């Protein structure tokens, strides 16, 4: 089909050919011509059942007319009626041709659409419609005292988070993107990616989006978690975090990750599960936050290969910082490190840049529980829950991704369900190996690669 021209282009070309101009004037006198559309092609529109068919038939017919006009340079006003008869004949044939179009197929499609709409409306009444607000900059500035440093509650490599109070009294967290080293197009793409991901999430163990703002910067507005981050309570408080809260956090984060990996409409890999990105509500319910590095993972893909490698030192899985491989097991490894933090009270990477995984691995292999447990807890913990968490952590931080459990098994391990846990601390039946194990990726190799990656990032 030839490219259609605008009406101005058509008129410009016609004026150069007086004989074709006569024909177009004759067409314009046709009572069926629509004055709102200056293109003479409107007289060739064929009334059919589907608007899509109407558009396509109109385009084809108009293109044919242009070709005919182009080839007939001797058209005059006297034989214009012959042309109209010829075009009327084309119309009749086109109507007959399209009237034989299989209507049942169209009806079935419409019926399926209506049926799907009814199922959404009547079978899933519990799913609320999105109510995200587009906040103005004035609203966000007023809520945060013009983004005062006193309202700053969190800061990372690419964002700042402020505590805010909206005009109606609702307390919120306002996340402002600050990646100024990136081009504006990249920042907008990152913002839209994070917004698109978090907008699809609906789980009690994931941060809830309230709205966004795009004036004078890019902002996300989220529910406020009154107890702040797990890192601030676990590592920044003089009072030790009690065991019941630690175990509740481990179970809640596992639930949230299982939802992202298996329960959400699309598989989501968070890529930055850290103690700083786990927020705690008033009743210490954990919420996974900061989806700035998150990735969609289509069902037909086993993994992503990403570059550059981004994340938090101490939580990076070996296959990720070595080869850029991202899948569910990337989050599982980071979750294992998070469990070690809850068990030991230590940071994932201490002030001397010592890896918690490297420190804990020998103790895990030798099953030295007493040396692993946070001294601040004393003996104030449930020994069965502690053993479950230690076993789960040791499996999650395995060097090989395929030896790590999926989050569904992690939940069973933490709950002690279906005989998956031996309370003596012995490990359960290992998973099958794949080609990655043939590399014999050892602890020393892991440490060497981790140090090399840190040096590259800090240069």
pLDDT single digits (tens) 253-266: 999 999 999 998 88
* Residue 283 among the catalytic residues: no
CATH number where 365 lies: 1.10.510.10
In 3D space, the residue among 254, 259, 249, 274 whose CA is nearest the CA of residue 203 turns out to be 259
- Average pLDDT on 367-375 reads 94
Structural domains in the chain (count): 3
pLDDT digits 0-9 by tens, 326-352:
999 999 999 999 999 999 999 999 878
Which pLDDT value is given to residue 76?
47
Same domain, 330 and 400: yes
Same domain, 217 and 250: no
Which pLDDT value is given to residue 56?
43
- For residue 1, being part of any structural domain is answered with no
pLDDT digits 0-9 by tens, 33-57:
444 443 333 333 333 333 343 444 4
Which pLDDT value is given to residue 383?
95
Phi then psi for 405, rounded to 5 degrees? -80, 160
Which pLDDT value is given to residue 80?
56
Same domain, 378 and 260: yes
Which pLDDT value is given to residue 68?
43
- Average pLDDT on 282-293 reads 94
Is a pLDDT exceeding 90 seen at residue 384?
yes
Is a pLDDT exceeding 50 seen at residue 404?
yes
In 3D space, the residue among 136, 204, 130, 200 whose CA is nearest the CA of residue 174 turns out to be 136
97 compared with 137, residue with greater pLDDT: 137
Is a pLDDT exceeding 90 seen at residue 32?
no
Is a pLDDT exceeding 50 seen at residue 382?
yes
pLDDT digits 0-9 by tens, 217-251:
999 999 999 999 999 999 988 899 999 999 999 99
280 compared with 354, residue with greater pLDDT: 280
**Residue 162 pairs with which residues in a beta bridge?**
152, 174
Which pLDDT value is given to residue 452?
58
**Contact (CB, 8 A) for 269 and 300:** no
CA distances (Å), origin 166, targets 40, 210, 228, 280: 56, 12, 19, 21
CATH number where 165 lies: 3.30.200.20
How many helices and strands in the chain, by DSSP H and E? 16, 12
Q: Final residue of a domain: which of 223, 244, 270?
A: 223
Residue 214's domain comprises: 133-223
Is a pLDDT exceeding 50 seen at residue 100?
no
Confidence of residue 14 (pLDDT cuts 50, 70, 90): very low
Is a pLDDT exceeding 70 seen at residue 419?
no
Confidence of residue 186 (pLDDT cuts 50, 70, 90): confident
Same domain, 234 and 369: yes
pLDDT digits 0-9 by tens, 77-90:
445 565 566 556 65
Is a pLDDT exceeding 90 seen at residue 9?
no
Which pLDDT value is given to residue 451?
61
Same domain, 334 and 192: no
Query: Is this structure's pTM higher than 0.85?
Result: no
Confidence of residue 445 (pLDDT cuts 50, 70, 90): low
Confidence of residue 323 (pLDDT cuts 50, 70, 90): confident
Neighbours of 5 (CB within 10 A): 15
User: CA torsion sign, 147 to 149 to 152 to 158?
Assistant: positive
**Contact (CB, 8 A) for 215 and 136:** yes
3-state class of 337 per DSSP?
helix
The residue whose two tokens read 């019941």 is: 244
Catalytic residue among 190, 272, 290, 374: 272
Q: What is the mean pLDDT of the chain?
A: 75
- For residue 259, being part of any structural domain is answered with yes
Structure tokens at 412: 């069973």
177 compared with 29, residue with greater pLDDT: 177
Report long-range pairs for 26-31 (Cβ below 8 Å, ≥24 apart): 26/77, 26/80, 26/83, 26/84, 30/84
Same domain, 277 and 323: yes
110 compared with 399, residue with greater pLDDT: 399
Same domain, 295 and 362: yes
Same domain, 168 and 295: no
Q: Final residue of a domain: which of 223, 246, 262?
A: 223
Which pLDDT value is given to residue 5?
43
- Burial class from Cβ neighbours inside 10 Å (0-12, 13-18, 19+) for residue 121 reads exposed
Is a pLDDT exceeding 50 seen at residue 357?
yes
Q: Final residue of a domain: which of 103, 119, 142?
A: 103
Confidence of residue 93 (pLDDT cuts 50, 70, 90): low
Which pLDDT value is given to residue 115?
54
How many alpha carbons lie under 13 Å from residue 124 in its C-beta half-sphere?
A: 8
Confidence of residue 158 (pLDDT cuts 50, 70, 90): confident
Which pLDDT value is given to residue 266?
85
3-state class of 81 per DSSP?
helix
Is a pLDDT exceeding 70 seen at residue 314?
yes
Same domain, 274 and 423: yes
């Amino acid at each position: 089909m030839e490219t259609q021209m605008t009406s101005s282009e058509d008129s410009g070309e016609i004026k150069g050919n007086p004989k074709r101009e006569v024909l177009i004037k004759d067409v314009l006198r046709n009572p069926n011509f629509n004055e709102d559309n200056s293109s003479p092609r409107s007289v060739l529109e064929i009334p059919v059942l589907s608007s899509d068919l109407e558009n396509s038939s109109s385009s084809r017919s108009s293109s044919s007319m242009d070709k005919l006009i182009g080839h007939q340079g001797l058209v005059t006003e006297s034989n214009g009626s012959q042309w109209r008869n010829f075009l009327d004949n084309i119309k009749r044939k086109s109507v007959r041709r399209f009237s034989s179009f299989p209507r049942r197929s169209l009806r079935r499609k419409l019926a399926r659409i209506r049926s799907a709409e009814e199922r959404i409306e009547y079978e899933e009444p519990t799913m609320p419609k999105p109510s995200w607000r587009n906040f103005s900059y004035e609203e966000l500035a007023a809520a945060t005292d013009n983004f005062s440093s006193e309202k700053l509650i969190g800061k990372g490599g690419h964002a700042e988070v402020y505590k805010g109070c909206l005009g109606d009294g609702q307390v919120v967290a306002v996340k402002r993107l600050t990646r100024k080293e990136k081009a504006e197009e990249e920042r907008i793409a990152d913002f839209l990616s994070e917004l698109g991901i978090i907008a699809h999430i609906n789980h009690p163990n994931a941060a809830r989006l309230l709205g966004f703002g795009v004036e004078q910067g890019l902002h996300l507005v989220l529910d406020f978690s009154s107890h702040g981050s797990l890192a601030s309570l676990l590592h920044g408080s003089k009072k030790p975090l009690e065991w019941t809260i630690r175990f509740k956090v481990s179970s809640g984060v596992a639930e949230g990750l299982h939802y992202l990996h298996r329960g959400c409409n699309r598989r989501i890999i968070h890529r930055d599960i850290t103690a700083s990105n786990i927020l705690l509500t008033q009743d210490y319910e954990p919420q996974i936050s900061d989806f700035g590095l998150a990735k969609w993972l289509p069902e037909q893909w086993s993994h992503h290969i990403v570059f550059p490698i981004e994340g938090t030192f101490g939580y990076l899985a070996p296959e990720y910082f070595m080869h850029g491989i991202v899948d569910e097991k990337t989050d599982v490894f980071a979750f294992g490190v998070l469990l070690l933090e809850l068990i030991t009270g230590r940071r994932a990477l201490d002030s001397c840049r010592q890896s918690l995984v490297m420190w804990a691995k020998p103790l895990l292999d030798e099953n030295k529980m007493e040396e692993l447990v946070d001294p601040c807890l004393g003996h104030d913990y449930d020994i069965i829950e502690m053993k479950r968490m230690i076993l789960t952590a040791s499996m999650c931080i395995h060097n090989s991704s395929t030896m790590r459990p999926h989050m569904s098994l992690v939940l069973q391990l933490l709950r002690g369900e279906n005989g998956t846990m031996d309370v003596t601390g012995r490990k359960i039946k290992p998973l099958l190996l794949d080609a990655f194990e043939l590399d014999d990726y050892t602890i020393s190799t892991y440490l060497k690669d981790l140090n090399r990656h840190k040096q590259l990032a800090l240069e």
